Homo-oligomer: A and B are copies of this chain.
Amino acid sequence: MKIELSHIAIACPTIVTVAEKLRVLSLKIAENHEVPTEKVRAAMLPVRVSEHFRIELLEPTQPDSPISKFLTKRPDGGIHHVSFEVNGIEQWQSILIQNGFEILPPGIRKGARGKALFIHPKSMAGVLVELEEISN
């Protein structure tokens, strides 16, 4: 039986504010519509997806793990972050800062497979967003 990921829905106070931020990440609204039965307005932004796309499950190994802290607030679990693969991560960092995004300290860091940075959830509709550049 077919099952494939079709969308991620982000709740936000106003679409226009978040769409403006996502445009900095090259994501643009392709379609708008209103669903009166659900009392929502919706905007669709097509996204290019890596052929290696995956869901990652993260479990803490220590009580002082960042994941333990997350689970204190949400004991059942939840989406911790959403990650995009990029190239030119230094250039992306400059663009983000120029556009008023807050980057989590220390900025670009060594990741397991290359370099990574995290955008503060306050800057992106309550969602922690990672940009990662994989080293070859």
Contacts and interface: CB of A to CB of B under 8 A. Distances in A.
Interface of A: 1-15, 18-19, 22, 25-27, 29-30, 33-36, 38-50, 52-62, 64-68, 70-71, 74-88, 91-92, 112, 121-122, 125-127, 131-132
B3 A48 contact: yes
18 contacts: A1-B87, A4-B47, A4-B48, A6-B84, A9-B82, A10-B79, A11-B58, A12-B57, A13-B77, A15-B57, A30-B54, A35-B112, A38-B65, A38-B66, A40-B58, A42-B56, A43-B56, A78-B126
Contacts of A58: 9-12, 15, 40-42
The 6 closest A-B pairs by CB, nearest first: A39-B65, A77-B125, A76-B126, A78-B126, A12-B77, A77-B126
A92 B61 CA distance: 34
Copies of this chain held together in the complex: 2
B64 A39 contact: yes
Given A5-B49, A62-B39, A78-B127, A11 B122 contact: no
A115 to B, nearest CB: 13
A50 to B, nearest CB: 5
Given A6-B85, A11-B79, A42-B57, 4 more contacts: A3-B131, A9-B58, A39-B67, A42-B58
